[in-house]
Structure 1
Amino acid sequence: MKFYLCSILSLLVVFGCKNNSEKAKENYAYFGGEVINPNARFVTLTDSEHHTDTIKLDGRNRFLYKIDNLKKGVYTFKHGGEFQTVLLEPEDSVLVRLNTLEFDESLVFTGNGAKKNNYFINEFLENEYIEKHILRLCQLEPEAFEKSIDSIRNAKLKKLEPYTKKCSASKLFKKIAKANIDFQYYSSKEAYPFMHYGQDKGAFLKSLPNDFYSYRKDINYNDTFFKSYHNYLRFLKHNINTLTLEKYTSYPDYKSFNWNILRYNLDKLEIIDSLVSNPEIKNELLYHFTMKFISFNNNQDKTDSVVNSFLEKTTNEKAKIALTNYTKSLKNLEIGSSLPAIEVLDFNNTEHNISNLINNTPTVVSFWSHIYYNHFKKSYAKIKELKMKYPEVNFITINIDEIDVEKPKQTFKTSKFSCSNQYVFKNPEASKKTLAIYPMTKTIIVNKNQKVVSANANIFSINFEEQLLGVINQ
């Protein structure tokens, strides 16, 4: 790898010297690197306008791609289902090295343009720890909470200042780096009422200082530059949640709040429709909140109401079809329905109908993917714990990837996990649609009579064991 990187970097330096001597700033960039433990034979690179280039890996899992007529800005590169971002500006030559088993943690940039991107990935990883800390800070009272997150924000800004001077950072880098800090700060404030330990979210929201959300006057709900940017969209989602809570708790008949209240969720879609005019941002927010609601809702009438509101407001025809089909799949998994006939393969490549694996025993069916490797490790540990506590329950785990049994089998052996009751779908794409597998934490509980008890359980939920005890005692 060292020789490979040095060779490419040497080549790119030659191009750079040529440009310097000619004193012409050419509008191109190189993006390349190496993928360890690849999940596919290619990576994709997508710009802010969703134009995507597919780049094949060579026999050594490496790639190099020249982008002509570069649109400087943040690009998204994907491999399998994992993704990260890279800032590309004219004459950059950025190489990335990553291991899919620890996608974000292993990611390192080299080459011209690497410093700014290593700053962003390091900030991304640091924010994962900071967010856990902020969850604890959310238990503080408003004045102490605000003081704490102000301190975090100021420390980030102070850290950024010498970096921008030292590296002669571009205006574009400064704009994105400052926005990252602001969006995280704003998101923390918007999430605060929901994360605070108090039960009455409405009363707590009303108790906040009048200037607590003073930054809202500067919010652009139709920012075309950041429209595809994760941190911007994440902030908007938190903000929409809080704005809707403000509206919902203002009703004269308001009594209490929970996430599945129909009126609250319909209000949320109305607020998006009123605030956001950019079609891309609006469609993204509408789809996100509608999918989130129907994925955890067990009342069909409520689901129909929210879906109908979504269909009236979105202009994304593909999203309409996808969500309509997803809703149909959920209807086939209603409480009391039979589990659909799905064919799976065990690690010996023997075919089974999933219904035949239940054998008059309460059964938990969960799913995993190499794409979400951390989820895989955590869920395996959780299921191992549950098996010890509930030996009368049958636990089945299914890999959802478009692969044969050898890769998941090897993953289990490498991790020194037991291969018993582990399966892959015979027809992954069709099976995922039939079982409406979204989100990845989705778990199906089936009773001994092969009837669905819950199609949207979560093994990490605080009430999961209560659900298990219910099916055991049937």
Structure 2
Amino acid sequence: MIRILLSTCVALLVGCSSQKKDSETVLFAGEIVNPTSDQVILLKGGVKVDSAKLDDRNRFKFKLNSIENGLYHFNLAPEHQYVYLEKGDSLMVRLNTIYFDESLVFSGSNEETNNFLLELFLATEEEDSEMYSEYYELEPLDFLNKITFLKQEKVNKLKELNSESQLSDEALKLLNGSIDYTYNRYKEIYPFRHKTKTAEQNFHELPKDFYGYRSQVNYGDHTLTYLRPYYDFMKAHLGNLAYMSCLNDCDTEYIQESKQLHYKKHKLHLIDSLVVEKELRDNLFRNVAFDYLLKKKDAPENTEIFLNEFKKVSKNNMHLEEIENLYEGIANLQPTKIIPNLDVISFENETTTLTDITANKKVLFYFWSGTNSRQYKNIFERIALLREKKPDHVLIGINIKTEFEQWKKIIGTLGVDPSLQYHSNDFKELTEKLVLYPMNKAIITDNSVIVDGFSNIYKN
């Protein structure tokens, strides 16, 4: 029934069949149930290709006259997902934002590729959890047998799909890459997780061919740069290489700088020596920078050394401004600093500032989004407990990534005091100035002076 309805929608919206047209024009359309934004944005890598407004029936339509075959993303803020497009495609998507990924179904030309890519994405989410809870404890050969079985299941399904649908070479490469790099990433992670889960003192000895796939790794595949399994593999793989090379070659007794800085410099130079694709290099360098700046606070002089090293090996990095803003944001959230004077909006739709809100009182700020009901309900349950633990503090929530009217409705359903809730329309500025990583973050102030700029509501 769903497939029939989708085919009808495709015919109505784009007048297409499941067969590709002779024209190179691509038609990509869809219907959104419970939209969280009024427009859909189509991106290729990090570059916006086009945007389309939802009509009065919550439908959108892209007509693209000349595009490159390959992997794209469509963004319905704050969610996004893959879409694979080839010249001549007429493709329809339908989804319900309440169950975004789980409800998503493609219909039309290249529906097989897109639905299988989504199936792999959802399977990986489930298997990631199983890996951590069960499989990383296994002995190496048992672990290899398990993931070989899981991988072969996907390979067999792909072979069956291709025999029925005759996928293009490009689509096959993408789907095979998604399978291969997913399971190779598990191998890169295994020795570290196994050591942690089993509390073994040393890394477990691995079979000689455990990393046999490494000789086939492509460090410059432009077509896979924004494929999540490929990127996640690269992060795990380079982290493994950097750590093991340092463990074997560096005498820790004579390392003059911090271990954190030393290891991150190893990783920067490893990326520089191995990765040749510009966007992949930039993204991996960004990951190292964010990991260093956010996870463990190092001495200011070490941070300066890291940034100088970063700029040396990653010239003209497309994320440099973002990284410098992060560094500045961290510096401005140190104890004794005044909280950034950012604008927020009250429940009565009046604009005020964080410095005004925090004047002459002790405040704990927490942050939430209306896009994930389970997450924000958990946050408010935690805040109710913190209110008892910190009676001398005013606990104030700031909402992000939610339409103003929707935010007000959620506040009403939660039954919380609206005078202690504020809304931000500028997610980018708030994220950069208040360094909102992760979303469980809290900022504690006393008369507008920062006491702790990097607290956590679940650790207070």
C-alpha offsets along residues 231-263 of structure 1, whole Å, 9 cap, x if unaligned? 2111101111111110221245348xxx97211
Aligned equivalents of 1:146, 1:132: Cα separation in 2: 17
Question: Contact 2:70/2:223 (CA < 8 Å) preserved in 1?
Answer: no
Aligned equivalents of 1:223, 1:81: Cα separation in 2: 28
Which sections of structure 1, spanning at least 5 residues, go unmatched? 20-24, 469-474
Please state whether the residue corresponding to 2:115 is helix, strand or coil.
helix
1:288-367 aligned within 5 A: 288-299=287-298, 300-316=300-316, 318-355=318-355, 357-358=357-358, 363-367=363-367
Which sections of structure 2, spanning at least 5 residues, go unmatched? none
Shift, 1:7, TM fit: 5.5
- Which residue number in structure 1 is paired with residue 409 of structure 2? 410
- Which residue number in structure 1 is paired with residue 163 of structure 2? 165
Question: Contact 1:80/1:371 (CA < 8 Å) preserved in 2?
Answer: no
- Which residue number in structure 1 is paired with residue 226 of structure 2? 228
How many residues align? The count is 451
The alpha-carbon distance between structure 1 residues 68 and 139, as it changes in their structure 2 partners (threshold 3 A), is same
Which residue of the other structure, out of 58, 62, 87, is the alignment partner of 1:61?
A: 58
Question: Contact 2:6/2:92 (CA < 8 Å) preserved in 1?
Answer: no
Aligned equivalents of 1:254, 1:32: Cα separation in 2: 57
The alpha-carbon distance between structure 1 residues 7 and 227, as it changes in their structure 2 partners (threshold 3 A), is closer
1:109-148 aligned within 5 A: 109-136=106-133, 137-148=135-146
- Which residue number in structure 2 is paired with residue 22 of structure 1? none
Aligned equivalents of 1:321, 1:366: Cα separation in 2: 26
- Which residue number in structure 1 is paired with residue 278 of structure 2? 279
Shift, 1:289, TM fit: 1.3
Aligned equivalents of 1:150, 1:67: Cα separation in 2: 40
Shift, 1:131, TM fit: 0.7
- Which residue number in structure 2 is paired with residue 400 of structure 1? 400
Please state whether the residue corresponding to 1:250 is helix, strand or coil.
helix
- Which residue number in structure 1 is paired with residue 432 of structure 2? 433
Please state whether the residue corresponding to 1:198 is helix, strand or coil.
helix
Question: Contact 2:367/2:441 (CA < 8 Å) preserved in 1?
Answer: yes
The alpha-carbon distance between structure 1 residues 211 and 349, as it changes in their structure 2 partners (threshold 3 A), is same
C-alpha offsets along residues 433-465 of structure 1, whole Å, 9 cap, x if unaligned? 32233x2426233254654343233445xxx2x
Question: Contact 2:363/2:394 (CA < 8 Å) preserved in 1?
Answer: yes
TM-score (norm 1): 0.84
- Which residue number in structure 2 is paired with residue 6 of structure 1? 8
Shift, 1:43, TM fit: 1.2
Please state whether the residue corresponding to 1:444 is helix, strand or coil.
strand
Question: Contact 1:398/1:425 (CA < 8 Å) preserved in 2?
Answer: yes
Please state whether the residue corresponding to 1:185 is helix, strand or coil.
helix
Sequence identity percentage: 28
Aligned equivalents of 1:243, 1:201: Cα separation in 2: 22
Shift, 1:164, TM fit: 2.1
Shift, 1:403, TM fit: 4.7
Aligned equivalents of 1:228, 1:40: Cα separation in 2: 24
For structure 1, which segment, 378-387 or 51-60, has the greater mean C-alpha deviation from structure 2 after superposition? 378-387
Question: Contact 1:402/1:429 (CA < 8 Å) preserved in 2?
Answer: no
TM-score (norm 2): 0.86
- Which residue number in structure 1 is paired with residue 264 of structure 2? 265
C-alpha offsets along residues 354-385 of structure 1, whole Å, 9 cap, x if unaligned? 34545777643222234566644443444445
What value does the CA root-mean-square deviation take over the aligned residues?
3.3
Aligned-partner residue type, residue 120 of structure 1: L
The alpha-carbon distance between structure 1 residues 419 and 207, as it changes in their structure 2 partners (threshold 3 A), is farther
